[in-house]
Amino acid sequence: MPTYQAFQVTGTRQFELVERALVEPLPGQVRIRVEACGICHSDVAAVEGMREDPSTPIVPGHEVVGVIDAVGAGVHAWHVGDRVGVGFLGGHCGECERCRRGDFINCTDQPYTGTTVDGGYAEYAYVRASGLVRVPEGMDAITAAPLLCAGLTTLTALRLAGGRPGALVAVQGIGGLGHLAVQQAKHLGFRVAAIARGTDKAELAAELGADVYLDSTVEDPGTALQKLGGAETIVATAVSGASMSPLVTGLAPQGRLMVVGAAPDPMSVQTMDLIFGTRTIAGSLTGSAIDNEDNLAFSLAQGIRPYTEVRPWADAPKAYDHMMTGHARFRVVLDHAA
């Protein structure tokens, strides 16, 4: 029986390179020959043992791009040779109450790629067909991979928040998520304020399209945003609840703080800051497969690209460790052809 290689993990960072049998996909699935896989901070759920049973091996990675090389029974819209991707949401079931109401993102029977089902730190991946995303011609695998999760996350937050053309939109944190959010907000027609600590990212923020750079070590970001007239939307990408807390006062009346950075510490907010101004704090979780196709098409049309550090697939454990140091600029991607 033919085999393929995969990096599986158990416990905490216990990576192991293993041989697995290359089997046919189950009904409703396809098999993908992986070309690239992004390394996302959300991979910690698998790699750091934050799963229900960390002793069960799992292959991390949820920014997967490749080519379909086998199709399971009952799959009709996808064919061998199709270039596809899959993000964190591995495909809705179509039968639960949330799906019946059209809320595919919150499907209660949806696999989480690289966390509850095997992901892309492998030569092959098996994916539920409803989770597949078509990768457009003209977009290479290295570019597409981070957009499938990081890019979709921020674009969905901006889309859900709404906002009038020319309104002030702030992006907190100019990292793996934020550097994409700034580009997206600018191309959506907003006036963009980038918020980060220190002055070292000011030049980068301008390069990405920010109209204003705010150094949160010099001035309270909420106060600074009010001086600019208040932000209709703030996209909070930093993984720090404490750093998100001061942002609420920077919202314009009826403004929305969209939280996409999964912080380990809680946020703190004064209820009066919400009531007076009718402000909103909301979370946003990536998007559906068709949302992701729109995301890739928008990125290609507008020239929105992730800044990537490309590592050979064989260096996956070291590449993950590098991502965790916080020194990556800005998305680490495994190249399966390297």
Please indicate, yes or no, if residue 55 is contained in any of the structural domains.
yes
pLDDT digits (tens, 9 = 90+) for 59-104: 999 999 999 999 999 999 999 999 999 999 999 999 999 999 999 9
Q: How far is CA 244 from the centre of its chain?
A: 19
The answer on 7 and 130 residing in a single domain is: yes
pLDDT digits (tens, 9 = 90+) for 152-184: 999 999 999 998 999 999 999 999 999 999 999
CATH of the domain at 67: 3.90.180.10
Preceding peptide of 298 cis, ω within 30°: no
DSSP string across 71-110: E-TT--S--TT-EEEE-SB----S-SHHHHTT-GGG-TT-
Q: Residues 332, 309: contact at Cβ < 8 Å?
A: yes
pLDDT at 188: 98
pLDDT digits (tens, 9 = 90+) for 286-334: 999 999 999 999 999 999 999 999 999 999 999 999 999 989 989 999 9
Q: Can you give the residue range of the structural domain that contains 81?
A: 3-135+307-335
How far is residue 234's CA from residue 191's CA, in Å, rounded to a whole number? 12
The answer on 37 and 161 residing in a single domain is: no
Q: Residues 37, 88: contact at Cβ < 8 Å?
A: no
pLDDT at 338: 83
pLDDT at 243: 93
Strand partners, 99: none
Positive or negative torsion for Cα 14, 19, 20, 23: positive
Please indicate, yes or no, if residue 297 is contained in any of the structural domains.
no
Mean pLDDT over all residues of the chain?
Answer: 97
When pLDDT is averaged across residues 138-149 and rounded to a whole number, the result is 98
Residue at token pair 């991607």: 333
Instruction: List the one residue out of 140, 86, 75 whose CA is nearest residue 115.
Output: 86
The answer on 130 and 10 residing in a single domain is: yes
How far is residue 322's CA from residue 120's CA, in Å, rounded to a whole number? 18
Give the type of residue at 166: G
Q: What percent of the chain has pLDDT over 70?
A: 100
The number of distinct structural domains making up the chain is 2
pTM for the model stands at 0.96
Please indicate, yes or no, if residue 44 is contained in any of the structural domains.
yes
Q: Where does the pLDDT of residue 1 fall: very low under 50, low under 70, confident under 90, or very high at 90 and above?
A: confident
